[in-house]
Structure 1
Amino acid sequence: MDPASIRRDDPELYLDFGRAAICEAVSAAYEFWRSSASQCHGALVLTYRDTAPGAGWGLTDVAGRPKAPWWALARAARPVTILMTDEGMDGLRLEAVNDSESARALTLSVSAHTRSGVVAAEGHREITVPARGSVVVSADEMVGRFTDATHVHRFGARTFDAIRATLSDGTTGLVAESVHLVGGPMVPRQNDIGLAATADIDDAGRRHVEVSTRFAAQYVCLDMDGWLPQDNWFSLAPGTTRRIPLTPSGSGDKAPSGHVRALNAEARARIENR
């Protein structure tokens, strides 16, 4: 895309594309460096916090609020996470990483979603990830057959719009989630992808927002007043929902308000309170 024309015609969209570009770079670099395929033993970020208002190199702004790449780095740096790498003709590589001091018994799940949200292929496997170690498997191994999940062989029309991988256990439930949008990093923009967001309170009194989408959603951003989501700038597979816990960034006594948007959608959705 031509940055100059986007900046001229839609300055807000230009800024979002710039944020997404940094997220792509952060995700690709840190996820590869952290994987067992790399010999990197660590990386430095310059800098943690902006030193002045406006555009800067920080992961947080001058007031300490997380910027877009903060979330990408946070997902890549979780102690227990799932890394997804497009290996070209070798398919989609999944790596469950465990940097804790003890082994973890987890359920690895993968699902391939069509444009309409239908799960056309899926697989589940019980794995034990050693302490300070990882388990590597391909998406096709999980499904049990050749799928051309990333559409690299191009034998026909593209079958899937997104591949979703999760790690979960019997105690905490969902531990990590990663979504690979097939055909990225530039997902075609649509007028409306069916985004919706509902804020609610669980039985323990904790607030959260449930974000859902009808079609694939790239870099979903929750823009809220008085509340900070515990994840942001993430992607959603078609027909899926994510629950995002909230922490107060102000007094915390007001119901969450704001909107949710995605990089590949013109329409935004208001955050409704249940």
Structure 2
Amino acid sequence: MLNPENQPTPPPVQLTTKQQRFVEEYCVDWNCTQAAIRAGYAKKNAGQEGSRLYKKVEIKSAIDARLKELSLSAGQVTKLISDIAETRLNDFLTVKEVEKKTKIPQPLAETIRLLEAQIAFDEEYAARSVEVLGLLDEAKETYLASKQQAIKHKRLEVLRHQMTLERDPEAFIMVAGPPELVKRVDLDLVKIAEAKEGNRIKSWQPSEFGIKVEMYDAAAALRDMGRVHGIFEKDNSQANAIPVINAKVEVITSGVPIARSEKEAAADV
């Protein structure tokens, strides 16, 4: 094919490996100097080299083409903003019913009664078990001595409780009570990872309080959607506006509620 001057069209210029790397790195942060450094050019001349490279027609064309490849279409942008606007903390929370151990007060008089009943049982068991085992003489004495040692510890425990009760007739101890069902809110890490993959949330990472989730501002996304659809202006002149998504941070913890955001999240379930 000939150009208007009947001259053959020159073949496209092939970029070197370092030039192609510069194109890729420039598309990361649009910084000529840093892109040149990351592409492997000398750091001391990176500013000049980056500026020179950027001015080359073939490199500028390669950058424009690469940015076009990386850019989202209008439909993709609208879909992403819509997903962000609809995303909320409850999407990643799972409510479960779990058993919780409880403690109840037990008067010392009742504690003493239960211990004495256990001592009587242990003594009877020791005597009868000797017959079952068929122990005689020294073996019998050794066996009974070991059993009496354990019984003696329980008798000392009874004595301590009796002395405490003499000083305080209202004394009690806390003992295990019946378990009760309570609701617990857990963070679904699978859903979090899927949301990050779909760009519905900005980031997530472990923290000292549990899992820290950084979300985009849903209210800002809704306003951007309104601008895209021209809700805020009669002439629909904002339909072509470029949406800007702001971000805010929420912290969700698993286990014992310790972060304010988790309390709010649990209340919202």
Q: TM-score, normalised by structure 2?
A: 0.18
Q: TM-score, normalised by structure 1?
A: 0.18
From the CA coordinates, give the structure whose radius of gyration is larger: 2
Q: Which has a greater percent of helix?
A: 2
